[in-house]
Amino acid sequence: MSYAKNLSLKPFDIDGLSWPSIGTKQRLNETTEQKNERTHKLAEAVKTILECIGEDPEREGLQKTPHRYAQALMFFSKGYEESIEQIVNGAIFEEDHDEMVIVKDIEVFSLCEHHLVPFTGKISIGYIPNRNVIGLSKIARIAEMFSRRLQVQERLTKQIAVALQEILKPQGVAVVMDASHLCMSMRGVQKPGSSTVTSVMLGVFREQAKTREEFLTLIHN
């Protein structure tokens, strides 16, 4: 599914899953035996990779590497299985507050879907309530959920913003992400130290320059 088509879909399905991948429900509903089979299959694939790069997967230092990496990759991608309803868990409250709420410098870790190498960075999220506010920790957990998938930074930034807009129906949502990509520093142009900044502005943050500037000033102070 293309990036544009993916984001044009409704943010949550009937099970509370947010933009689930094609195998999400199978992975979510599988038995312990099926999970073990999945991990074993993945470990065998890693063993093949080690052989293909010229290594010996049977040498002492690598014997357990395929299984370790299989388990790690399942953790790195656990965001596919998480439900937005379970994360929010009813932590939305009616409050007479109509000023900006910002959670900034949320550290996230993700995998670039083009090269399967990490990118890491910080996300700052702001919204202006329309009578409803959300528990602050839930904002960080929503960012974590979307980052624990194969991602591109542009989509990650937009998914967080659209999800919060759908959950809270606020006056506006703003998300800015600043990240470093190992696919740029370890390969390709090989430019360590470079960073990529993406932003998504919805509602009043998009429509009103003054509101947008206030948010950007606050997150950089």
Query: Residues 111, 118: contact at Cβ < 8 Å?
Result: yes
- The 3-state DSSP composition of the chain as helix, strand, coil percent (nearest 5) reads 45, 25, 30
Burial class (CB in 10 A: 0-12, 13-18, 19+), 206: middle
Q: What are the residue numbers of the active site?
A: 112-115, 153, 181, 183
Residue 159 near residue 146, CB atoms below 8 Å: yes
Give the number of other Cβ atoms within 10 Å of residue 211's Cβ.
Answer: 20
One DSSP character per residue, 88-138 reads HTT-EEE----S-EEEEEEEEEEEETTT--EEEEEEEEEEE-SSEEE-HHH
Structure tokens at 14: 């009937």
- At 16, the amino acid letter reads G
Select from 39, 47, 40, 101 the least CA-distant residue to 75: 39
Backbone angles phi, psi at 154, to 5 degrees: -60, -45
